[in-house]
Amino acid sequence: MEPARPRAALVAALLRRGDGATAPLNARGRFDIWGHRFGILIMRLPFEQFPALSAIETCRHVFAQRIPGIDVSHDKAKVLERLNAAHQEIRNTAGLGHWPLFTAQQIHGNKIAVINSCSRSPMGREFPARDGIITNQRGVALGIYVADCCAVYIVDPKTPAIGLVHSGRKGTELGVVTNGITQMIDRFGSDPAEMIVQLSPCIRPPHYEVDFASEIIRQCRALGVQHIYDSGTCTACDLGRYYSYRSEKGKTGRMLAVLALR
Ligand SMILES: [Zn+2]
């Protein structure tokens, strides 16, 4: 059984916020309430992990889903602030909580940030004007927020090195995943044939007019990546589990993808 204390702490945090504190009970079962302890509800946090990445010993990852009971009808900064306690809790549960989190500003561009032995730091930060992050450093957590766009996890278990990229319609057109993989090759000596690529849930036809997930896969194959896994899930098809920017007309939350070398 997983430790009860952190979950209890999260529930307490939700209750303190006063923004829909009782909503976990209305969450269509996504918050799986499995018991009471110390007089407080204990519940399972909504996240998923991908079997292809779980099978890799050298990395840890998680994909935080929609968090029930949190009002997300605000701008992105406010929404991320409201989701932060739950995201921290999910990172803890996935064994990523004590590593510094590096994120990107995510401007739907194609530039990649690099964390190497010189640029790593004990404190996490957000890289301005970047849409992906690559590193060969252990104990450094990469984070990408999405709500319809695809979070693309790239793992080269041999070198080892990792990349995490935000690729929606525009970023895909600009080749942001191609840039991420190319920079892993150039800077770390990664071999695309050794890479494992995982696509997160993202919006897809018929809910969206462009199938950018297929294009991401095509770009990876063109670089010689052979091991490509797609969750195949459409975010707009399951609003109980995911946030969808398109379906919710921009007033929505963000899923958090995290990847790290252990
Ligand atoms: Zn759909």
Do the domain assignments include residue 198?
yes
Do the domain assignments include residue 34?
no
pLDDT score, position 45: 87
Q: pLDDT by residue (tens digit) across 5-22?
A: 444 444 444 443 333 333
Please give the residue range of the domain that contains residue 79: 49-261
Q: What's the mean pLDDT in 79-107?
A: 96
- Is residue 153 within 8 A of residue 164, CB to CB? The reply is yes
Spacing, Cα 206 to ligand 1 middle (Å): 6
Spacing, Cα 81 to ligand 1 middle (Å): 27
In the chain the first and final C-alpha atoms are separated, in Å, by 23
**pTM score of the predicted model:** 0.85
Do the domain assignments include residue 29?
no
Cα–Cα distance for residue pair 131/176, rounded to 1 Å: 7
- What is the percent of the chain where pLDDT is above 70? 83
Spacing, Cα 204 to ligand 1 middle (Å): 6
Spacing, Cα 237 to ligand 1 middle (Å): 4
Spacing, Cα 211 to ligand 1 middle (Å): 11
Spacing, Cα 54 to ligand 1 middle (Å): 26
Spacing, Cα 235 to ligand 1 middle (Å): 6
Total domain count, the chain: 1
Label residue 54 exposed, middle or buried (CB < 10 Å: 0-12, 13-18, 19+): exposed
Q: What's the mean pLDDT in 127-131?
A: 98
Label residue 138 exposed, middle or buried (CB < 10 Å: 0-12, 13-18, 19+): middle
Spacing, Cα 210 to ligand 1 middle (Å): 12
Spacing, Cα 243 to ligand 1 middle (Å): 12
Q: pLDDT by residue (tens digit) across 21-55?
A: 333 433 333 444 444 444 445 567 899 999 999 99
Do the domain assignments include residue 236?
yes
CATH of residue 156: 3.60.140.10
Spacing, Cα 108 to ligand 1 middle (Å): 21
Spacing, Cα 190 to ligand 1 middle (Å): 34
Do the domain assignments include residue 33?
no
Do the domain assignments include residue 152?
yes
pLDDT score, position 52: 98
3-class SS letters over 90-118: HHHHCCCCCCCEEEECCCCCCCEEEECCC
Q: What's the mean pLDDT in 232-240?
A: 97
Residue whose entry in the numeric block shows the structure tokens 């204390």: 5
Do the domain assignments include residue 85?
yes
Do the domain assignments include residue 40?
no
Spacing, Cα 242 to ligand 1 middle (Å): 11
Q: What is the DSSP string of 220-251?
A: HHHTT--EEEE---BGGG-TTT---TTTTTT-
Spacing, Cα 207 to ligand 1 middle (Å): 5
